[in-house]
Structure 1
Amino acid sequence: MQLPAEAVTATVLIEVVRISALPARRDAPYPGTAVAHWTGNEVDAVLALIESLPGSEQHRCGFSPGWSVRAYDNSLELALFEAAFCFTCHEVRMHGTAVPPALATQFFDPGALPARTLLSLFREETP
């Protein structure tokens, strides 16, 4: 999976969100509860894990993501990007100040080891 390179370099905090609904607009944050905040080496490891997600073809499910990650730089104001993951239809939707249109929708293989690892990390953080 491809993340915006400049945003990856600038990210100092990742917020993990357990999504509760779809946003009212495509570019709005996904509603839900922040269940974790990752910093330091965790940021580097998770971004590398996300970037290692192998591609896949789209599967139709209606896009019902369960988790998202929001990446922030030192200002901690607006998210550089938010990536919402649907492990059923293999889709990731990204938006944010650093996301070019070509990266907004991507597909990943949820059965691959990196995807299973990412899902396990999300589940560990969910209350």
Structure 2
Amino acid sequence: MQLPAEAVAATVLIEVVRISAIPAERGVPYPGRVVADWAGDEATEALTLIENLPGGEQHRCGFSPGWSIRAYEDSLDLALFEAAFCFRCHEVRLHGTAVPPALTTQFFGADATAAQALLARLRQAAV
């Protein structure tokens, strides 16, 4: 999976969000509860895991993401990007100040080892 490289390099904090609804329009943060903050090695490992998600085919479910991550730089002002993951239709939607249009919708192999490891991390964050 492709993430905006400059944003990944600038990321110092990731918020893990348990999504509670779909926003009314694209490009706004997904509503939900922030269940964890990842910084340092934990953030780097998560971003590496996400970048290693293999490409995949779209499956039809209507896009109902359960989790997102929001990446922030030092200022912790606006998110550089948010990535919302739907493990049913194997789709990731990205938005934010650092996301070029070509990266906004991607598909991943949700059954792959990297995807299952990411899902386990997300679930563990909510415990």
CA distance in 2, matches of 1:47, 1:17: 15
For 1:66, the equivalent position in structure 2 comes to 66
Structural mapping, 1:83-98, within 5 Å:
83-98=83-98
Q: Are 2:52 and 1:52 equivalent residues in the alignment? A: yes
CA shift, 1:125, in A, is 1.4
For 1:6, the equivalent position in structure 2 comes to 6
CA distance in 1, matches of 2:9, 2:118: 20
CA shift, 1:27, in A, is 0.4
When the two structures are superposed, what TM-score results if normalisation uses the length of structure 1?
Answer: 0.99
CA distance in 1, matches of 2:68, 2:77: 17
CA distance in 1, matches of 2:98, 2:21: 23
Amino acid at match of 1:33: R
For 2:27, the equivalent position in structure 1 comes to 27
DSSP 3-state at the match of 1:55: coil
CA distance in 1, matches of 2:9, 2:126: 27
CA distance in 2, matches of 1:72, 1:61: 30
CA shift, 1:42, in A, is 0.7
Amino acid at match of 1:45: E
DSSP 3-state at the match of 1:8: helix
CA distance in 2, matches of 1:98, 1:9: 11
Any runs of at least 4 consecutive aligned residues in structure 1 with deviations exceeding 3 A, and if so which? none
DSSP 3-state at the match of 1:46: helix
CA shift, 1:24, in A, is 1.4
Amino acid at match of 1:88: R
CA shift, 1:57, in A, is 0.7
When the two structures are superposed, what TM-score results if normalisation uses the length of structure 2?
Answer: 0.99
DSSP 3-state at the match of 1:7: helix
